[in-house]
Structure 1
């Protein structure tokens, strides 16, 4: 993918605005990244070959390479606008590469460079997949990570057995986001609206909107909002996919991170 002729500072500005927008929803986002990298280093060492799954702008790749300079990362995503930012941000860094692939296509692994991975990492991304396609994806991932390697997924994994707790958390989060918006914080729709107005990224933003719709204009989320799986389901699915051990290694009131050890 060709990147646009703009400075490293411009790409950094988009990366930072993406981080702030994500933190509007996930104030503990950096904590989950820290635990993810702790578990990766503990289990596969400080120089892993990492698959950054559904990588977006490369948030995980960025944190992996800053913490573990001897690592290498391969980012895969389908969103052309987010991939453009990833390509621009990491241009000239031979430790990182990015490929375009649709995870709902059974042949998506053929787009990857050859070789297995020490770690496959993903965050706040796979919740758009329904239950059975996600189970099938986990079976594919078991074949991409080496023996002794790890898979970590940090995402929305609700516990439906506690409806009163869940309702209170939902109200609390909505009120917090409303306060942040009043202070000028940018939300999901606002971020995409700003990207669409960027004179140099407008074309790739339009390409994204043609594929998935424009988040700034749709009334509802463009993600799956009907089937959310619990952390227990994810662990059981990883066992079923061929991982030798699997369990939650971090949680918040609404989210969790599940680790599968191959």
Structure 2
């Protein structure tokens, strides 16, 4: 795996370097991360075409938006998140790009959709973020997403989705994955805690990083329900169809169509 190094931060922060370092850190946990993004954008194109209005849900640094615009230059994206540090990187990365805007909002707040600039979206996309929520608030969030997706539009969530009925498969996959992560770590890969330690030392990111930990703590105590649970919850939220369209041994991506 490619070694991750601290981005240069003289006199102005290099936002693209931070964006890239976030990607490398996430790939340490998910080496198939780009494949899930590819399938996600394939399904966007299949359902709503090459110029969609997208809501990048729990957008973080804007990883989905970055890939969306590279593949579909006529797309537009609204990123929504609560994390002040990751939003700072996202806003810095896309500064001056009129196709992109960002909204600070708490997805657990029942009124969060009122902060959005549009009433409906062709696609709502999220990846490796909603496992920060427990099942009950996640189901409530899905209920609020239903009205945001236009008829014929899609919602996709790529995340950790654990099947509790296969404990031996789960344990074997986890053991191999962690052995490979350990090997990459000895080669210099930066993990979650180390990445945030680097952010805390950056002159520009230090303050929003401190605020981020005031909001979330070290890590939120969420859940990873099965893909079947997600599909059922999305149908209950008003989507006509929902099923897995991509899966790895530990993760899955559920697509719901309105």
Tell me, what secondary structure is at the counterpart of 1:148? Answer: strand
TM-score (normalizing by structure 2):
0.94
- Residue 255 of structure 1 pairs with residue 251 of structure 2: yes
Task: Give unpaired runs (5+ residues) of structure 2.
Answer: 1-10
The separation in 2 between residues aligned to 1:38 and 1:83, in whole angstroms, is 26
Instruction: Kindly report which structure 2 residues correspond to 1:39-50, keeping only aligned pairs within 5 A, or say none.
Output: 39-50=43-54
- Residue 6 of structure 1 pairs with residue 12 of structure 2: yes
Tell me, what secondary structure is at the counterpart of 1:115? Answer: coil
Total equivalences in the alignment: 249
The separation in 2 between residues aligned to 1:102 and 1:232, in whole angstroms, is 26
- Corresponding residue of 1:144: 148
- Residue 239 of structure 1 pairs with residue 243 of structure 2: no
Q: CA deviation at 1:160?
A: 1.2
The separation in 2 between residues aligned to 1:37 and 1:202, in whole angstroms, is 33
The separation in 2 between residues aligned to 1:66 and 1:118, in whole angstroms, is 18
Q: CA deviation at 1:59?
A: 0.3
Q: 2:210 aligns with which of 206, 212, 223?
A: 206
Q: CA deviation at 1:76?
A: 0.1
The separation in 1 between residues aligned to 2:154 and 2:72, in whole angstroms, is 16
Q: CA deviation at 1:183?
A: 0.3
Q: CA deviation at 1:153?
A: 0.3
- Corresponding residue of 1:228: 224
Q: Which moved more, 1:136-145 or 1:227-236?
A: 227-236
Residues 151-199 of structure 1: per-residue CA shift (max 9 Å, x gap)? 0000001111111111111111111111111000000000000000012
Q: CA deviation at 1:232?
A: 0.8
Tell me, what secondary structure is at the counterpart of 1:250? Answer: strand
Q: CA deviation at 1:58?
A: 0.3
Q: CA deviation at 1:6?
A: 2.8
TM-score (normalizing by structure 1):
0.93
Q: CA deviation at 1:200?
A: 2.0
Task: Give unpaired runs (5+ residues) of structure 1.
Answer: 216-221
Q: CA deviation at 1:235?
A: 0.7
